[in-house]
Amino acid sequence: MISLKNISKKFSTKQGTIVAVEEVNLDIKKGEIFGIIGYSGAGKSTLIRLLNGLEKPTSGEIIVNNEDITKINEVKLRQVRQKVSMIFQHFNLLWSRTVEENIAFPLEIAGIPPAQRSQRVKELIDLVGLEGRGHYYPSQLSGGQKQRVGIARALANRPEVLLCDEATSALDPETTDSILDLLVSINAKLGLTIVLITHEMQVIQKICGRVAVMEKGHVVEEGNVLDVFQNPQQTITKRFVSQVSDSNKALQTIQQLKELYPNGKLIKLVFVGEQAVQPILSRLIKQFDLEVNIVQGNISHTQTGAFGTLILQLEGEALLIDDAIRYIHEQKVNTEVINND
């Protein structure tokens, strides 16, 4: 669906050349929700603007539906943009227009007759859950409702790709969840490919199937969201995963337990998919004569399955502890013994 090949983007300034994106290679599949995460300055906003031709790359190729958009003229680029729509952090609505008129705006530009526009607007208002608010102005809407208008407007011309540029960053957590649920619903109903950029791992966790992590213009890690949660490779990825797992708090507790139980062993269990709902802990307690203290437990749900972590303190005979750890391994649970030094 979308393929980026050795994409770089450089900006010339009075202070010199700024490299915003460097040698990025990505493949985004048709119909998936793909996340791009990074902190401010990572290059993710520049990257998403490259996907619909709002920015031209300095080098590389961007293939959208078998079309290299870096090599087409403006007429063909405008046609491509009709199939690659975008929603923004601050909504970008026309404040002098009603909800209906905002949604109809791209249809007007496309020359769609009034009767067809009206029918399409009604469909979209129903789709995004704004029934009864068609005649409202943006100033009369909540933040979540404004973003729903933005989504409806982006869908007006029946795009194949929806780009989301920090689309939930201006919203409170509850409203964020409702907008993310709406995007998942739209993805399922329309088969729409969604590319979402964010600096919040909770957003990636909730709706994305795959994720690319950006730092200083580079994609430093990429993969299935569940795999990234289970085994983050880069320091920055571990920081993002800790937003959800609260591992910093766990480490503080671990340090305390090292002092309280110097002769025991601390182990971290990582559960993935069906493992996350298996009663492994109760089986462990029944089969082994050990003191088992739960330090921390957490289960997160992603689009591709559940991911859980459990930190235990095992105290008892050394051979029994080793047998217990082997038993956990046999259950295909990723186990890490935390150094008690």
pLDDT digits (tens, 9 = 90+) for 132-156: 999 999 999 999 999 999 999 999 9
The CA distance from 276 to 299, in Å, is 7
Note whether 57 and 10 are within 8 A (CB): no
Q: What is the pLDDT of residues 262-302, one digit of tens each?
A: 667 888 887 776 655 567 778 888 888 888 888 777 777 77
Q: What is the pLDDT of residue 188?
A: 93
Decide if pLDDT at 246 tops 60: no
Whether residue 197 sits in one domain with residue 283: no
With vertex at residue 165, the alpha carbon angle to CA 161 and CA 168, rounded to the nearest 5 degrees, is 110
Q: What is the pLDDT of residues 62-100, one digit of tens each?
A: 998 888 888 888 888 888 888 899 998 888 899 999 999
Note whether 307 and 269 are within 8 A (CB): no
Question: What's the rounded mean pLDDT across residues 1-8?
Answer: 93
Q: What is the pLDDT of residue 261?
A: 61
The CA distance from 62 to 67, in Å, is 8
The CA distance from 273 to 115, in Å, is 49
Can you tell me whether residue 221 is helix, strand or coil? Answer: strand
Q: What is the pLDDT of residue 126?
A: 96
Q: What is the pLDDT of residue 340?
A: 53
Whether residue 332 sits in one domain with residue 225: no
The CA distance from 157 to 106, in Å, is 7
CATH code at 78? 3.40.50.300
Whether residue 217 sits in one domain with residue 296: no
Residues 6 or more apart in contact with residue 306 via CB below 8 angstroms: 271, 272, 273, 276, 277, 299, 300
Whether residue 301 sits in one domain with residue 177: no
The CA distance from 160 to 31, in Å, is 9
Decide if pLDDT at 113 tops 60: yes
The residue among 243, 271, 299 that closes a domain is: 243
Question: What's the rounded mean pLDDT across residues 32-49?
Answer: 94
CATH code at 250? 3.30.70.260
Whether residue 330 sits in one domain with residue 228: no
Domains of the chain: total: 2
Q: What is the pLDDT of residue 293?
A: 82
Whether residue 171 sits in one domain with residue 72: yes
Residues 6 or more apart in contact with residue 289 via CB below 8 angstroms: 316, 317, 320
The residue among 210, 243, 276 that closes a domain is: 243
Q: What is the pLDDT of residues 185-208, one digit of tens each?
A: 999 999 999 999 999 988 998 999
Q: What is the pLDDT of residues 204-239, one digit of tens each?
A: 989 999 999 999 999 999 999 988 887 889 999 988
Q: What is the pLDDT of residue 162?
A: 96
The CA distance from 36 to 182, in Å, is 19
Q: What is the pLDDT of residue 36?
A: 96
Residues 6 or more apart in contact with residue 283 via CB below 8 angstroms: none
Residues 6 or more apart in contact with residue 101 via CB below 8 angstroms: 94
pTM of structure: 0.81
The residue among 243, 274, 309 that closes a domain is: 243
Which domain range does residue 281 map to? 246-338
Decide if pLDDT at 164 tops 60: yes
Decide if pLDDT at 243 tops 90: no
* Lowest-pLDDT choice from 10-19, 68-77, 240-249, 310-319: 240-249
Whether residue 276 sits in one domain with residue 228: no
Can you tell me whether residue 104 is helix, strand or coil? Answer: helix
